[in-house]
Amino acid sequence: MEQLNEKKLTISDVAEALGVSKSTVSRAISGKGRIGKTTRERVLTYIEKHNYKPNVLAKGLAQLKTYNIGVMLPEDYSVVDLPFFQTCLIGIEETAVSMDYDILLTMSRENDCGQLVRMVENHKVDGIVLMRTFTKDIHIEYLKSQGIPFVTVGSTNDQDVIQVDNDHKNACRELISILLMKKLSRIGLIGGIESHVVTQNRLKGYIEAHKEAGIALNQDIVFVNVEKEIMIQRAVEKLLQEQVDCIACLDDAVCMHVLNKLRKEHIAVPKQMKVASFYDSSILENNLPSITSLSFNARELGTVACKTLMELIEGNAVKQRTLLGYEVILKESTM
């Protein structure tokens, strides 16, 4: 105790002496964030006893940081999207905890950012990770207007936004190019919501692969904004009528419904129809035959997004856009 009186107190000193985290000390001093009354009193009593002065606290405390980051999940995610978001969140959480930050989760619709507004205007967080991007994104516009640090998991056309994403366009371009080289010249496409930027990037990869191969794109075998099971079944029926060689699915949720429809129609994969997915998750791992797909590291995505946000919060320069790698996994469904 004597030694602490001889030097300027830091947040680390207080935290170590009381056996609590730095974020707990910060919340006790700032009065923001959830913290027990007893713990707050312990911290305030300790710093008063040791002649704490606000102007000698570390930079973070001087700015009254909350030591929380917000993570906004889309409210419209489906059960099959859950493994991706869970794995990505693990990467975010591990990184945040290692830097004495906690995570506050919120959910929002494409055209409603009310919960996000409350989180920001109540000063609950130091920065935000957006887990889905849209072509017209009111969440991005709001966060820009507030000047709060934020990072998107996913791409956006807004050049002022810091983005961390997988290279969906080139991944899909490479997969389709491989299938075209296997003489599958009529590859139908079934996909999800076109207002999702990830959908647009995957679609661009599909288009670029055909262009590079010198194969004219047939719009009659491309179905987007198809997400409900009945819509997917009808799209499969039309593709069968068009006598496509292969059905490429924009994600594994769509792929699952496509496979179910083909089974009902007694169409064997891959003998009678080839199938591929632009995303590989646990939902397809036990399917027989195994499904050709693209593999992305969702945990790494969360880790890099969180690290990037932490750099922004500290006022450091970061890359405008970070694209992570992918792996094309060729399996039985396109053999």
Q: For 14-46, how does the pLDDT look when each residue is reduced to its tens digit (9 = 90+)? A: 888 899 887 788 777 766 667 788 888 888 888
Which of residues 270 and 157 earns the better pLDDT score? 270
The region of weakest confidence among 32-36, 161-165, 245-249 is: 32-36
pLDDT score at 311: 94
Evaluate whether the domain defined by 2-62 bears CATH number 3.20.20.450: no
Comparing CA positions, the residue from 120, 122, 66, 61 lying closest to residue 96 is 66
pLDDT score at 25: 80
pLDDT score at 55: 39
Whether 168-295+329-334 and 68-166+298-326 are alike in CATH topology: the answer is yes
For the stretch 20-53, what's the b/e string if a residue is b when 16 or more beta carbons lie within 10 angstroms of its beta carbon?
Answer: bbbbbbbbbbbebbebeeeebebbeebbeeeebe
What's at 219, amino acid-wise? Answer: Q
- The dihedral built from the CA positions of residue 262, 268, 271 and 276, taken in this order, carries a sign that is positive
R_g of the chain computed on alpha carbons: 25
CB-CB contact of 24 with 41 (8 Å): no
In CATH terms, the superfamily for domain 68-166+298-326 is: Response regulator (3.40.50.2300)
CATH top class, domain 168-295+329-334: alpha beta
Q: Is 6 exposed, middle or buried (0-12, 13-18, 19+ CB in 10 A)?
A: exposed
**176-199: per-residue pLDDT in tens?**
999 999 999 999 999 888 888 888
pTM, entire model: 0.74
Q: What token pair was written down for 116?
A: 């996000």
What is d(CA 190, CA 334) in angstroms, rounded to the nearest whole number?
16
CB-CB contact of 291 with 278 (8 Å): no
Extents of the domains making up the chain: 2-62, 68-166+298-326, 168-295+329-334
What is d(CA 211, CA 29) in angstroms, rounded to the nearest whole number?
60
